[in-house]
Amino acid sequence: MKKIILSVLVAASSFGMLSLNAQTAPKPKPSPAAEVSAVLANGTALSIKYSQPSLKGRTPGKDIEPMMGKVWRAGANDATVFETSKDIKVNGQPLPAGKYAFFTLQNEKGTTLIFNKTWKQWGAFQYKEADDALRILVNQTVAQESSEKLEYSISNKGKVALRWGTINIEFTVE
């Protein structure tokens, strides 16, 4: 009789542990982590680490960021991190080697790319303009095809692109 009771207790506690584990299993993030990287012809390693939001029927600038006149983390969750192994020029402007939080700011004149020295931060909530290492005004174009997920690309020739919805932002690194 003691063996039967002991067996039932062991089975019940095992089942309870399985149920507990099933309840605590992590759910997939709605904006999963993503990374793109490339090595340029001169040996410079570039990478962009970001969280990849989806539109889910929303329109950028209307229902979801980036909003006109507001700094955007150019991704979701933590600030997007742009890293270069060597000193580079972004659209002809110098940027020292290192890690940077990458933000954008849309206005009537175009889109300002912001490389901020405080690379480890949540979103744009801690953003301080005083920590900017580089700001560059670029043209934003309308993509021919809409991209459901935010996507970055880096070519080994130094062309960097951000695409989301019909937003298309490109710049060069050398």
125 close to 156: Cβ distance less than 8 angstroms: no
Residue 5 included in any domain: no
Find the domain containing 95 and state its range.
29-172
Residue 13 included in any domain: no
Which token pair is 32? 């999963």
The pLDDT value given to residue 6 = 52
Residue 115 included in any domain: yes
pLDDT 10s digits, 55-74: 999 999 899 999 999 999 99
* Overall domain count for the chain: 1
Give how far Cα 115 sits from Cα of 51, 58, 120, 148, Å. 17, 27, 12, 25
pLDDT 10s digits, 131-151: 999 999 999 999 999 999 999
Residue 6 included in any domain: no
Residue 16 included in any domain: no
Which token pair is 89? 């020029």
Residue 1 included in any domain: no
Residue 160 included in any domain: yes
Pairing relationship of beta strands 76-84 and 98-107 according to DSSP bridges: antiparallel
Residue 15 included in any domain: no
pLDDT 10s digits, 15-44: 455 444 555 767 777 899 999 999 999 999
